[in-house]
Structure 1
Amino acid sequence: MKENENKYVEAFTDKVLKDTKLESPSFDFTDAVMSQVEAIQYSKATRYKPLISKPVWVVISIGFLSFVAYLLFQNNTTTTSEWLTNIDFSLVFDNALTKLFSNLQFSNIFVYAMLLFAIMLCVQISWLKNYFDKRLSV
């Protein structure tokens, strides 16, 4: 049954194509298309926009440098080591999560595999960034 349908469809398409004539583009078709392509504005979606803009980086840098300058030039009698001893780090180092993983030991092969994985991930990220920068550049 499918064969009969295919024959009818093929005969119909042959009949339709036989009656139509071949159309060809105008003489300056390529020039007209290329002039329109060059005139199209690039979409803003393909432009690279950083997540953190330059003015925000400037504000962050000024804030960080002013904090460091304050720590260096304060006239307090306490030294940095005394200041750090007053901070309570027990929340970070003495909790249920660190106690849970304290007896966990990794073999050298696993550590080397994770190190190689991290290196290859960094290489791949930098390679992909360069690839997409070249692809999306105007």
Structure 2
Amino acid sequence: MEEQYKDIKRLVKEAGTEDPSVDFLRNVMSDIRATSVDKSVAYQPLISKKAWLVMGVLLIGLLISLPFLSEGTWILDNMDFSFFNGVENPFAGFKLYSATMYGIIFLAILFMVQITVIKRRIDKIYSA
């Protein structure tokens, strides 16, 4: 086992250690100063304000329309899909039960609360 390491030891002794130049620290520090960041990073959100507005309007419209849909009546039942030649209404037998409606409303409310809590936490963490 020692024989395999003898060759490595010999190579390390032949190579020796390399000493840095006298002004190594000064050169490194001058390079660091030259590459310092002068521009601040501009914040750009992933989702634009228009997209948030559209999603909010759709969500509010859904939340407002859900309570008015009683069991057995569905808006899409009355739509005419005859412009798609030979396609029947895919929502013909769909029923929106009140439990489903309340579940969707409850999840939407929890989602909005969660978004506001997470936004406050992120603002607190990343505020300078």
Q: Which range, TM-score by smaller chain?
A: 0.3 to 0.5
More helix, by proportion: 1
- TM-score normalized by the length of structure 2: 0.37
TM-score, normalised on structure 1? 0.35
